[in-house]
Structure 1
Amino acid sequence: MIGVTTTPTTTGGPPRSPARRRRVDSLLVLCVLLIAAMVWQDRVVAALDAPALRTGSTVFVAVCVQAMPFLALGVLISGMIAAFVPASALRRVLPRNTAAAVGVAGMAGLALPGCECASVPVARRLMQQGVPPAVALAFLLAAPAVNPVVLVATAVAFPGEPAMVLARFLGSLATAVVTGWLWVRIGRAEWIAERALRRIVPRPGASRWAVFAETARHDLVEAGGFLVLGGLTAAVLNVAVPASWVTSLAGQVALGVVVMAVLAVVLALCSEADAFVAASLSALPLLPRLVFLVVGPAVDVKLVALQAGTFGRAFAVRFAPLTFLVAVVCGVVAGLLVLGGAR
């Protein structure tokens, strides 16, 4: 009798699961990068020693370090509004007429000494408390530009030009109010992401301090990543824009206004420090430097990144160009009225 060896088949049985592939996760990528850095250490050190990279890293750290304290201040105020200020109180304080409320919100910017990073989470929280978006956005633009700290810094940076303080105040306040009024007319609710208007629901029985802590933590984690992204963008653009472009604008007022407006968006300076940068550009007339000071706190790359992360991309691509145009026009008009033109 001849024995026959048979091999098992899968016919009629359960299908055999394929071999499981290892997923490439962030830890594996980090390990590979660390090993590569150790192997090619000399080349990595030589590459990181490039002047452009050193300049870019300095700008990146400066933007983040300057903005982070004010961002933290903003999320603390945001948490306090969510925990301790009922929506009914805000509705009682603001005028029922939205156009009038925009003007009140613009003047309320005098009360919050912070930069533009601080105003974004506060504006979001105001919307969640029932404040009309145009009113909250007017406050967002006014707070970093017309507060006492910024005005005093401008006076110190331009000791021989006291009119610059008045011109900056009027141009920035007009930018906030006019943009708010325009948003009343052309703004659409669907442009603002639903997550921006969704309130954080506290746990049943949670205290107000627990609501404050959870709201502040949520806003800081969400906005911090976009601040880093904006700082990285500002660093790259700072390195890419030659300094000689600015010095070549002496005596060219119209071109200077355009270039300084774009430069304000690119450099992404804190509103408490931008006056000293503008004062150092003494070769330029006052009018382009004023436009630089009006545009910067209203729209720059880090602020656009924060707005896109907070209110959604559809909002940012509409609000940023509108704000830029209004800020340039208001800055020029304020300069012509207060500074006497192009000097």
Structure 2
Amino acid sequence: MSSLRADSDRPWAAEDGSIPPASWGRRDASPGRALPWGFVLVVVLLVAGRFVLAPYLTSAALQTWATVFVAICVQALPFLVFGVALSAAITAFVPASSWTRALPRHPAAAVPVAGMAGAVLPGCECASVPVASGLMARGVTPAAALAFLLASPAINPIVLVATAVAFPGQPLMVAARFGASLVVAVLAGWLWLRFGRSEWLRIPSRPHGEGSKLAAFAEAMRHDLLHAGGFLIVGGLAAATINVLVPREWLTAVAQIPWLAVLVMALLAVLLSICSEADAFVAASMSAFSPIAKLAFMVVGPMVDLKLIALQTGTFGRAFTVRFVPLTFGLAVSASALFGWLLL
């Protein structure tokens, strides 16, 4: 009797006692009624696009934009895939303890050695922050880990070969990029070793490996390829748009002021956040700018960009980022101007 009274007080209860019933708050689905309207909407959009967008799709400006975008992506994609694969392989299969054995015990000597390690151990900037944090967690001095963080995506063999392909017949551009990037990495490491404080840097806890090495390789490659590929597309879109929409008079005016051209290209590298395996092709497409400005774009990009700033803030803390990012940017611009003046 009490159960009947309780059910009468709950008119929305199901017959089987479930509260609320499975069908409560739902309407009967009517796919047969929605499908024709969806088809009609698609047809209307296609017709509208045919008459409204067709004149713009055949314009010379859009064809130029598409040509520049496709050329950048097609040239850069093989280097991007190869670089990400090697980076994932190093992350998954190279033991972390090998780093502590390979680096000198004295921190000042470990910094240039770690910087030179970037020349033989390829990796994109998307993976440089996790690798550097893992090195710190395993006992590597932070200054040496930071030197590797800056050098690895900037002077590794994949990046240098991509630069040579993007600038055919200009070996001095490759040499200038290598020298300027290595100098920035070593100087940043030494300056952090001299003036950095432990409370500014949040060293992550020691990581624990989980799963097989093949699974770690597949996961690292999937993650890096999706992120780097996405930023490559964004960079290609931006570069193509700049080439088409920005008046040549503006680019010529900026390019005629040497110091302003260098700063503009350096800031553009920060904003575009292009993967280091692809940035040389974007820089080469900026034909209005001087070689020194293009060099600044390629030196700053792998060391300071928006995605790296976000990764560094999340990994090492805001106190580290607000000090290390301006230091790296200033060193990168100065080294680019110096090496560009000497070699280019």
Specify the SS of the correspondent of 2:118: helix
Alpha-carbon spacing, 1:231–1:250, altered in 2? closer, same or farther (3 Å): closer
Deviates most, 48-57 or 308-317:
48-57
**Which residue of 132, 142, 167 maps to 2:151?**
142
Structure 1 segments unaligned to the other structure (5+ residues): 1-6, 23-30, 204-209
Match of 1:79 among 92, 111, 116: 92
| Paired amino acid for 1:213 | L
Distance 1:37 1:121 in 2: 47
Q: Which residue of 2 aligns with 1:286?
A: 291
Is 1:127 the equivalent of 2:127? no
Aligned partners of 2:224, 2:277: CA distance in 1, in Å?
20
The answer to whether the 8 A contact 1:98-1:132 is kept is yes
Q: Partner of 2:29 in structure 1?
A: none
Question: Which residue of 293, 299, 305 corresponds with 1:300?
Answer: 305
SS of 1:110's partner is coil
Q: Structure 1 residues 225, 150: CA separation in 2 closer, same or farther (over 3 Å shift)?
A: closer
* C-alpha contact (below 8 Å) 1:74/1:119 kept by paired residues: no
Change (3 A) 1:252 1:40: same
**Residue 199 of structure 1 aligns to which amino acid in structure 2?**
P
Q: Is the 8 A contact 1:113 1:149 kept in 2?
A: yes
8 A Cα contact 2:123 2:152, kept in partner: yes
Q: Quote the residue 1:262 is aligned against.
A: 267
Counterpart-to-counterpart distance in 2, 1:228 and 1:292: 19
Q: 1:311 and 2:315 equivalent?
A: yes
Q: Name the counterpart of 2:32.
A: none
Matching residue of 1:186: 196
Residue in 1 that maps onto 2:14: none
AA aligned opposite 2:89: L
Cα distance, 1:237–1:304 mapped onto 2, change above 3 Å: farther
Question: 2:207: which partner in 1?
Answer: 199
Question: How many residues end up aligned between the 2 structures?
Answer: 308
Partner Cα separation in structure 2 for residue 56 and residue 37 of structure 1: 33
- 1:111 Cα deviation after fit: 0.8
Partners of 2:118 and 2:148 within 8 A in 1: yes
- TM-score, scaled relative to structure 2: 0.67
Q: Is the 8 A contact 1:86 1:129 kept in 2?
A: yes
Letter in 2 for 1:100: A
Counterpart contact for 1:74–1:122, Cα < 8 Å: no
In terms of mean alpha carbon deviation, does 118-127 or 100-109 score higher?
118-127
Please say if 1:253 is aligned against 2:258. Answer: yes
Change (3 A) 1:115 1:218: closer
Deviation at residue 47 of structure 1 after TM alignment:
6.5
Deviations 1:245-294 (CA, angstroms, capped at 9, x unpaired)? 43333431111111121233344445455445545555543322322232
| Counterparts in 2 of 1:162 and 1:47: CA distance versus 1, 3 Å | same
| Maintained 8 Å contact 2:137/2:203 | no
Residue 338 of structure 2 corresponds to residue 333 of structure 1: yes
